[in-house]
Amino acid sequence: MSNYLIGDVHGCFDEFKALLAKVNFDKEKDTLWLTGDLVSRGLQSLEVLRYARSLGKALRMVLGNHDLHLLAIYARMRKNNPKDHLTALLSAPDVDELIDWLRQQPLLQIDNDLKLIMTHAGIHPQWNKKTAQKCAKEIENMLLSDHIPLFLDKSHTETPHLWSPELKGDVRLQFMTNVLTRMRYCFSDGSLDMTHKEVPEKMQGDLYPWFLLPRLLEPEYAIAFGHWSSLKGKGTPNNIYALDTGCCWGNELTLLHWEEKRYFIQPAYKCKHVF
C-alpha cells in the first residue's frame, strides 16, 4: 500500500490519469492525496471531479480557493468566467451530486501515523495542530450549512490580516479561509499579505513565505501544500513539500510517493490547453 500526493490538478485530467498510470495507482490498496484546486483553468474539470468522487475512501483531498470559487458560482454568488472553463461542469447532468460531494470535502488532512498534514495553501505560523484542526472544522461546518451562499459571497476578501483567537463572525471565517486556501506571504508578525505572488527571490522588505517564519506547529509533522505554482516545488525547508508545479500553465503535474520520497512528473499536453 502506498500514499501518493499530487499537486493542483486544475482540470488537467489527461495529465492526471497519465501520472497515476506511471505509479500503477490502485484504488483498492493505495491512497491518493490531492492538494485542492481540482477544477478551473484546465479544460476537463468535470472529468477530474467525477474521477475523484469515484475513488471513495482511497481519496484524501482538501479544498482549494478555486474549488470554493466553483461552489460560489454554483450558489449564484459569483459569475462564471469563461477563462475558468467550468461551463461543461456546471451544465452536466450530475452537477448537483458533484457539488454536494465537493461541499463535504475537508480543508485539512492530518495523518498522525504518517506525521503528515496537507492543506491547500499552508498552515499559519501562529497555529499549532489543534488550532489548525479547529479552524478548518469551522469552515467545513459552514460549507455544510444553509448559510453557505452568504459565506462564499464574503469569503474572498483581503482582510483581516492578523490572527487572534478572539476573532469572531465573518472576519474569523475570512482569515481562516485565506490561510488555508490563499496564503503565500506573511509579515514578520504573522499578518497576511494577500497581494504578492512573486517567487521569494524577487521579494524585498518585511515579507516572508509563510513556511520560512518560526512555527508553532509540532515539528514532527511534515506539511504538503499546493497553490503556489511559481515555486515550482522548490525553496521550501525540509519536511515542507510544495506540490503545485503549474500544469495548467503549461508546466507539469507532480506526484510524490510518500513512503519512498520519490517524485514523478507529467508534462502538460500543450496541444490540449489554451494557456
Q: Is the pLDDT of residue 80 over 80?
A: yes
Above 60 in pLDDT, residue 273?
no
Average pLDDT for 228-249: 96
Mean residue pLDDT of the chain comes to 94
Residue type at position 176: M
Ranking 71-85, 129-143, 259-273 by mean pLDDT, the lowest is: 259-273
| Distance linking the first and last C-alpha atoms of the chain | 36
Instruction: Render pLDDT for 173-215 as a digit per residue (tens, 0 to 9).
Output: 999 999 999 999 999 999 999 988 888 888 878 899 999 999 9
d(CA 111, CA 89): 31
Percentage of residues in the chain with pLDDT exceeding 90?
86
Coil, helix or strand for 144? coil
- pLDDT at position 274, please? 47
Report the pLDDT value the prediction gives residue 85, as an integer from 0 to 100.
95
The string over 85-106, giving b where at least 16 C-beta atoms fall within 10 Å of a residue's C-beta and e elsewhere, is: bbeebbebeeeeebbeebbebb
C-alpha cell of residue 4: 501518493
pLDDT band at 47 (very low <50, low <70, confident <90, very high): very high
Domain ranges of the chain: 3-272
What is the pLDDT, as a whole number, of residue 90? 97
Could you count the other beta carbons within 10 Å of the beta carbon of residue 255? 23
Q: What is the mean pLDDT of residues 101-128?
A: 98
pLDDT at 104 over 70: yes
Rounded mean pLDDT, 56-80? 95
For 139-182, what is each residue's pLDDT tens digit?
Answer: 999 999 998 888 887 777 777 689 999 999 999 999 999 999 99
pLDDT of 95 over the 50 cut: yes
Output the 3-class SS for 202-255. HCCCCEEEHHHCCCCCCCCCEEEECCCHHHCCCCCCCCEEECCCCHHHCCEEEE
If pLDDT is split at 50, 70 and 90, which confidence band does 101 have?
very high
CATH architecture of structural domain 3-272: 4-Layer Sandwich (3.60)
The per-residue pLDDT for 197 is: 87
Q: Which of 185, 179, 171, 227 is nearest to 36 (CA)?
A: 227
* pLDDT > 70? residue 46: yes
